[in-house]
Amino acid sequence: MFKRSLKSWEGCASQRGFTLMEMMIAVAIIGILAAVAIPSYQKYVQKTHRTDAQAALVEMAQTMERSYARTYTYKALAVGGADSGTPSAAILRDIKVEHYALTISAATANTYTLTATPKAGVQSSDRCGTMTINNAGTKTGAEADCW
């Protein structure tokens, strides 16, 4: 009987698998990769959303200029014919930006300022913050290299 149990023990020794140490090393490597990759991915997502907002601001500016060519004023292009606030449907017809609030900050007969303000969530910690563009094409952000 003793020989029989010894033989069964020898069978276990020939089994293959991972040791606890090998598993812990693999978990540590995955943890290190995740610690580096996740913040990089979040910055990439923020930059993508920021680029979408910049494109929307430029498109809104083009629409404002087309309206000015027809009416000779930048006024009354916000909702309800107001000079500032949420842009009217005519301005935003094809513009879809989920992570920024687009507004007409100031519009007069000859000038305007368009603003993209980050909404709560992913963009709230974006280094560029609120971005603007005006009728002269001047683009601003929290940092000089945002545009």
What count of Cα atoms within 13 Å lies in the side-chain half-sphere of residue 123? 21
> Is pTM beyond 0.95 here?
no
pLDDT in tens, 73-128: 888 777 777 777 778 777 777 788 889 999 888 788 888 999 999 998 888 888 88
**What residues does each domain of the chain span?**
19-140
- Number of other residues whose CB lies within 10 A of the CB of residue 140: 16
Cα 95–chain centre separation: 16
Residue 2 has pLDDT above 60, yes or no: no
Contact, 53 vs 97, CB < 8 A? Answer: yes
Lateral strand order in the sheet of 112-118: 100-107, 112-118, 131-134, 139-140
Under 8 Å between Cβ of 97 and 116: yes
Q: Residue 100: what pLDDT?
A: 92
User: Looking at beta carbons, which pairs linking 84-93 to residues 24 or more positions away fall under 8 Å?
Assistant: 87/60, 87/114, 90/63, 91/60, 91/63, 91/64, 91/67, 92/60
The per-residue pLDDT for range 10-69, each reduced to its tens digit, is 655 566 788 899 999 999 999 999 999 998 898 899 999 999 999 999 999 998 898 889
